[in-house]
Structure 1
Amino acid sequence: MLIAHLSDPHLCPPGALYQSVLDPAPRFARALAQASSFRPDLLILSGDLTEHGDAASYAHARDLLAALPCPVLAIPGNHDDREAFRAGLSGLPNLVPLPATGPLHAIAEGVVRVIGLDVTVPGDHRGQVTPDHAAWLDATLRSAPDTPTLLVMHQPPFVTGIGYVDAYRCFGDTLLAQVLSDHPQVIRLLAGHVHRFTLTSFAGRPALTAPATATSLALRLAPGAKPASFTEPPAMLLHLWRDGGLVSHLQAVGKFPGPHPFF
């Protein structure tokens, strides 16, 4: 099973620029096309599908996603509007179903199960795992204890060392770790939000953030560093399940010199 993982496209209304710098739609379209070339069984979108949470941007997203040959599991981020997200993507035929009310949790069943956990706090940039989140997740995991499972969130529940994004991480991490401690079938935690690839461990299992298809966050690790971004090539993650194990690949989006006949 192959899962493509894209994040943070920050789509804007047609003709508008993201942060007055670039049109994010062509970058997202190229990422979708390149992801499709790998013939994935599922595409994950881990939040911030739009920049402003407006209907025009969701309509644009729906048009781009409708051409994909695989199911799409999408959760909102802090720049999304939950109800506009729900309404805007509701007509997408390949979308993993979203609940009609409440948080936009989503579940894709398969050889590997993928659970999208909507932890975004409306009107805030941070995420929060609440007792309601924990109860839903615990019950959902108990329903398939023997299926390898990926947990997808927007804001990561760990510190990256980039102070200006860590202030808006997902809080309630102790509660989340307590839930995961009872469910060893969760083999990886996936997130977005950071606009960079990061790798650490959380609750004893690998935890990754996917890069953005919009701009990349500057890697500034000094305390008190000011926020900044760069227009780097977009990138994605590819998660391959084979022979009872999962390997994750970081793939840049674009056309580069090669292939060269050497290893």
Structure 2
Amino acid sequence: MRLIQITDSHLYADKQARSRAGIPWQQFQRVLEAVITERPDVVVFTGDISQDETAASYALACEALSALPCPWFWIAGNHDQPELMAAEHPLLEEVDLEQWRLLLLNTQVVGKPHGELGSEALSALAERLEQDDRPTLI
């Protein structure tokens, strides 16, 4: 199983928009080209997909990710809008990877720059871990 993680693209709706470190869309394209050469079985995008938090930026990400030769999944980061993401591509909580399973936990704290799991989410996680003895990626 070859799993690749991508994170922090900080895309804008405008493909030519600049950030402190260059043009995010161009950088994202280079990352995807490198990912494709690795021939992954699964790609997980772990947040901060969008910088401007627009539906158009998530649509651009989905358009680009559709070029991957494998399934891909994403979770929201502190700069993301989960509702807009889900409108473009599902936000799953769990992915069956046959001998493994992948849990995609939402640690977003609305209005805060950090993430966390509260006591309820930690209890639910403990129960989920006990329900399946396969190795689990979180």
TM-score, normalization: structure 1? 0.49
Native 8 Å contact 1:73 1:106 kept in 2: no
Residue-by-residue CA offset, 1:126-161 (whole Å, 9 max, x unaligned): 11211221133123222212x11111xxxxxxxxxx
Measured on the aligned residues, the alpha-carbon RMSD in Å equals 1.5
Aligned residue identity for 2:96 = E
1:48 aligns with 2:48: yes
Distance of 1:26 and 1:65 partners within structure 2: 14
1:122 aligns with 2:110: yes
Distance of 1:65 and 1:42 partners within structure 2: 11
Distance of 1:36 and 1:143 partners within structure 2: 34
TM-score, normalization: structure 2? 0.89
Native 8 Å contact 1:12 1:18 kept in 2: no
Runs of 5+ unmatched residues, structure 1: 91-97, 99-104, 152-263
Stretches (4+) displaced over 3 A:
none
Partner secondary structure for residue 44 of structure 1: strand
Partner secondary structure for residue 141 of structure 1: helix
Native 8 Å contact 1:115 1:150 kept in 2: yes
Distance of 2:49 and 2:103 partners within structure 1: 18
Q: 2:131 aligns with which of 138, 143, 148?
A: 143
Q: Which structure: larger Rg? A: 1
Larger proportion of helix: 2
Counterpart residue number, 1:22 = 22
Residue-by-residue CA offset, 1:165-186 (whole Å, 9 max, x unaligned): xxxxxxxxxxxxxxxxxxxxxx
Distance of 1:107 and 1:33 partners within structure 2: 26
Counterpart residue number, 2:3 = 3
Native 8 Å contact 2:17 2:24 kept in 1: no
Number of equivalent positions: 136
